[in-house]
Chain A
């Protein structure tokens, strides 16, 4: 399990809450120093393992979501060949704005767009209060 305390949770949460659109989220998360740090400290397998562990949690808290996205963006700093399969197994239901993020990732790093189908079905970027309360109850 990776040390998620290394993520700048306060800053990242504020960015997440301030994001009107996925591109603002993407550029700020991708360039965040604490995310780059955990990408350097942990290998791809460790990051994926932690990602899946959080993803499987029921009643995720806001912090869980920020950790989840922090790890995802740490993986974006890994060599493409190491994460291609992982990205292919994710879906937009589990990770909102995922297709947007993969699209920006491809653009930033000049990856072939064929690795993901961009079929964006937007959902409002909000964690419901019920979800949050259950997660912290």
Chain B
């Protein structure tokens, strides 16, 4: 993140029920990010980058706005889950590629991603995820191997219809 200057444009979209969600787009990149991405990738060696650095969208923007914007207002997320008719998957064995994962700590939702492999014994029920790490890149990573996985609860959701 960081606070924040350089607002460019807003991006608005609606849930299925018509609630307006407002995100933001800013294609400026703080050059200092490049110094930090190296350290970040050393800290998470199993994370495979799949995009360039971008501040145009964050994790929630990746999932809920098709990479169109940065959604930092977490009150939107429960609204989107409810109004887009996501259903929680209680049994980890039922999780499939295409489901989404939500990371929450004691302050609320901190991260989200898209499941791309089936959880099983081989990966200790930590499926691979695609997620955007805020102002950094999109990464492919095990569900328990990202900056947001420590001390957070992971829940899986799916749209069935």
Using a CB–CB distance below 8 Å, which chain A residues touch chain B? 10, 13-14, 16-27, 62, 65-66, 68-69, 95-97, 104, 120, 122-133
Contact = CB atoms under 8 A, between A and B. Distances in A.
Contacts of A128: 5-6, 26, 28, 30
Interface string B1-23: 11111111000000000000010
B25 interface: yes
B6 A25 contact: no
18 contacts: A13-B36, A16-B1, A16-B3, A17-B134, A18-B134, A18-B136, A19-B134, A20-B60, A20-B148, A22-B72, A23-B74, A66-B2, A69-B3, A97-B72, A125-B72, A127-B6, A128-B26, A131-B6
Contacts of B133: 18, 20
Nearest to B7: A123
Among A20, A25, A68, A125, residue most surrounded by chain B Cβ atoms (within 10 Å): A20
Q: Is the interface of A mostly helix, strand, loop or mixed?
A: helix
> Across chains A and B, which 6 residue pairs bring their CB atoms closest together, nearest first?
A128-B6, A125-B1, A124-B24, A96-B3, A23-B107, A96-B4
Interface of B: 1-8, 22, 24-26, 28-33, 36, 39-40, 55, 58-60, 70, 72-74, 105-111, 132-136, 147-148
Given A18-B148, A24-B110, A124-B55, 5 more contacts: A20-B133, A24-B107, A123-B24, A126-B29, A126-B30
Given A17-B136, A22-B72, A23-B108, A127 B2 contact: yes
Nearest to B112: A20
B2 to A, nearest CB: 4
A134 to B, nearest CB: 11
B144 to A, nearest CB: 17
A12 B115 CA distance: 29
Given A14-B39, A122-B72, A123-B24, A132 B3 contact: no
B32 A132 contact: yes
